Amino acid sequence: TVQQVNVLCAPGIWTDLGGPMGITRTLGTMGMLAVVLCSCSGEPVSPLWDPTAISSQEHQGDFVFIHVESSSYSLPCSPAELKVADPTYHWVQDKAAPKLLSVTKEGHLLFQHFQAGDSGKYSCIVSYTKHGVPASQMFHYHIFGYHVLGGLDTVLLFHGKFCKDEWTKRFLWDLQKKLRQLEREQHCKVQLTDTFCFPSLTNVSDQFIIQVQLKVSLFGPHWDDNCNPLELETVTDCYHHTVQHNLRQVQLALTRFFKEHKSFHVTGADIPSIDFTNEFVGILKTKECSGGYGQTEQFQRCLSCCIVCPPGTFSPPKNNQCSPCPVGTYSPIYGVAFCTPCKDGMITKVPGASSMTDCVKMERTKQVLLIVHRIPELIAIILPALLAMNLLFILCSCYWFCREYRMSSPTASRKTESTTRMEVVTSFSKIPRQDSKAGLDAGPASDTSHLDTSASQGDEKHTHRAPALAVTPNLATGTDETTLTLTLEERKGNF
């Protein structure tokens, strides 16, 4: 048996086993066979290798947050250093059009001047050899861009004699050209957001006002040179301090710049010379997210920071919330300020579409969309009817309540009591006499009934059936017990 084991373990007998997976399966089978044979021979059994140590492993990494316009950020392939010999690294990203990735010799993914579009899902595969058998591990990361709050909004008013597109374009081009030097000195970015031109109120004939709006971002080139992005515990605080310091410096630099550049002279071969004189400068500090960013609780180290909006969502400028794309639009990338509409009359089934393939023809969702769009109209039609029904119910309830209240009032109660008493007296006086014997046994009541019957019906014969009770109309409410007693005594005398 020992010789058989030695034959199995002898080198040089392996042929092509179908790659690393085939080698792993074959080695596993042979290993179990060797263990069985060694057990039968009485030799101590020891594992020749650990198959789990050489199998492919997959790890789900955590979220990674990288500040936009970071000068440099390097992401290692493995969260912990792998002590393996001669590893090779391969980074991939799950994008339709992946960018060329920069990987260091240590296997780190390198980002320079990180942008919102660099956000996404990345995977790193590290391959190595262990016990002569190929092995690999895969690590997944979800990377998000973010930025701390801080910026400036600037409003400028210039006076000029003309308000035409060509002259205004020349003036704005000259203005931005002179601001480039300020951007390099202060490590910021100045963006022209809007312009307006309207007649002056003081001199309408030959004076116009050009209003210029500028947005200043504090994240220019090398803005974070004093912060180390590898120090995860303190780098966000460093970014906050840097932004606040740069905010004050840029504000002073802008004020000084427009004092020095009081007038801009525009000239050209095809246009006359024009002067645009600066009359007003307003600078406002802002704490708003940039377009395509919103505040969430994902980044626990900085809850006030703005996180890039993922695909399927958007955030307009000066809006601190990422919202799903409306029906009929989609956003396939990170950090969009506005979603892209579907083409050719197509539409999405639900909000939050993240791909152009989510757009379908109108016929497939026409009925659903018609119902969804008509819900407000149906509510507008049904709601007044419900309000009218409620009002009618309230009026009817008030009417019945008032009616019941009048029926239960003291006057009505007295009338009802008097009517009931008269009915009792009338029924008492109209009970017929059955016969002479019954009349004698009945006493005064029977006699009274006989007299009353005789008085009302004359010489007619008495029947043995009692007539139905009824109220005589002649018995008015003024009848009382005294009048009734006198009438009975008079009838008894006549009888």
Q: Is 180 among the domain residues?
A: yes
Model confidence pLDDT, tens digit, residues 123-160: 999 999 888 889 999 999 999 999 999 999 999 999 88
Domain-located, residue 494: no
Pairing of the two strands 208-217 and 151-160: antiparallel
Q: Is the distance from CB of 151 to CB of 96 less than 8 angstroms?
A: no
Helix (H) or strand (E) holding 122: strand 120-130
Residue 423 lies in a domain: no
Q: Is the pLDDT of residue 302 over 80?
A: yes
- Pair 133, 156 in one domain: no
CA-based nearest residue to 193, from 295, 337, 66, 341: 337
Do the Cβ atoms of 5 and 41 come closer than 8 Å? yes
Average pLDDT value over all residues in the chain? 74
Q: What's the rounded Cα separation, in Å, for the pair 133 and 53?
A: 10
Is-contact 163 226, C-beta < 8 A?
no
Give the up-direction half-sphere exposure of residue 381: CA atoms within 13 A in the CB hemisphere.
Answer: 5
Q: How far apart (Å, rounded) are the C-alpha atoms in residues 477 and 423?
A: 11
Say if residue 322 is in the same domain as residue 205.
no
Would residue 398 count as lying in a domain?
A: no
416 vs 26 pLDDT, higher one: 416
d(CA 166, CA 168): 5
Q: Which of 326-330, 362-366, 386-390 is least confident?
A: 362-366
| Domain end marker among 255, 285, 315 | 285
Contact between residue 96 and residue 127 where contact means Cβ atoms under 8 Å apart: no
Q: What pTM value is reported for the model?
A: 0.61
97, part of any domain? yes
Domain count within the chain: 3
Residue that terminates a domain, selected from 285, 312, 332: 285
CA neighbor of 314 nearest in space, from 338, 290, 296: 338
> Is residue 374 scored above 80 in pLDDT?
no
The region of weakest confidence among 104-113, 186-195, 406-415, 434-443 is 434-443
As given in the structure block, the two tokens for residue 98 are: 């992946």
Indicate whether 181 and 260 sit together in one domain. yes
Lowest model confidence (mean pLDDT) among 157-161, 215-219, 334-338, 339-343: 157-161
For residues 261 and 178, membership in a common domain is answered with yes
Show the tokens assigned to 224. 């974070």
- For residues 258 and 333, membership in a common domain is answered with no
* pLDDT of 253 strictly over 80: yes
Residue 35 and residue 9 in contact, taking contact as beta carbons nearer than 8 Å: no
How far apart are the C-alpha atoms of 425 and 445, rounded to whole Å? 12
Instruction: Kindly indicate the confidence band of residue 366, based on its pLDDT and cuts at 50, 70 and 90.
Output: low
**Structural domain harbouring 301:** 288-385
CATH number, domain of 67, equals 2.60.40.10
Please, how many CA atoms are within 13 Å of residue 59, restricted to the half-sphere of its CB?
Answer: 15
List Cα–Cα distances, 275 to 157, 174, 206, 389, in angstroms. Answer: 13, 12, 13, 71
The lowest-confidence range among 97-101, 121-125, 221-225, 313-317 is 97-101
